[in-house]
Every structure is written in structure tokens, then in C-alpha cells.
Amino acid sequence: MPKKSELTQEQRAEAVMALLRREAPVPQLARRFGVSEQSLYRWRDEFISAGKLGLAGKAPEHEQAREMARLKGEIESRDQVIGELTIANRILKKLSGPSP
């Protein structure tokens, strides 16, 4: 199982910028930052993708905030249903009498 990189966000950005500027061959950059070549390429792709979203006015933070609000709404709705079912269950238990 691959281990997660211990580089900070700034260090990853520095690695990606070095890759994009072609400061050194990819294997050399990977050794310098202590990561695999595959990680460098993945970070580059994520970096470029996030940049495109930012230029389109769809920054990832806004997408995450919107998704978080949607999920919170779902949780509140489910909590309400659970509460209603709990009340109904208690009423039915009282109506059915004592259990053996």
C-alpha cells in the first residue's frame, strides 16, 4: 500500500511549479522532493484542473461549501424522519401493551 506524502501544500506546489518550469528532469525532481514520478504528474494534473475551475469561477472551495450545505440539509431531513419514527414506535409500543 503506498504511503501518503508528508509534503506540505506549499512544498507540493513548489514541486509542481518546478515540474511545469522544467527545472530538472522528472526523475530528478521526484528524488529531490522524495516522491514518485507518478505523484508529481498527479499533483500537476490536479493543479491544472483546479486552475481551470478557478478561471471558470468554480473554485473548489465554493463547490465544497455547496456540497457541505446540501449534505447538512440531508442530515437534518433524516434526523427529522428518525425523530418521527421514534415517536411513532413509542406510541405503538404503548398501544400494544406490556411485552412478555
pLDDT, one tens digit per residue, over 58-96 is 666 777 888 899 999 999 999 999 999 999 999 999 998
**Cβ proximity of 36 and 30 under 8 Å:** yes
pLDDT, one tens digit per residue, over 33-67 is 999 999 999 999 998 888 776 677 666 677 788 88
Cα-to-chain-centroid distance, residue 69? 14
For the CA atoms of 88, 93, 97, 100, the dihedral, rounded to the nearest 10 degrees, stands at 170
pTM of the predicted protein model: 0.53
Residues 92 and 79: their CA atoms lie apart, in Å, by 20
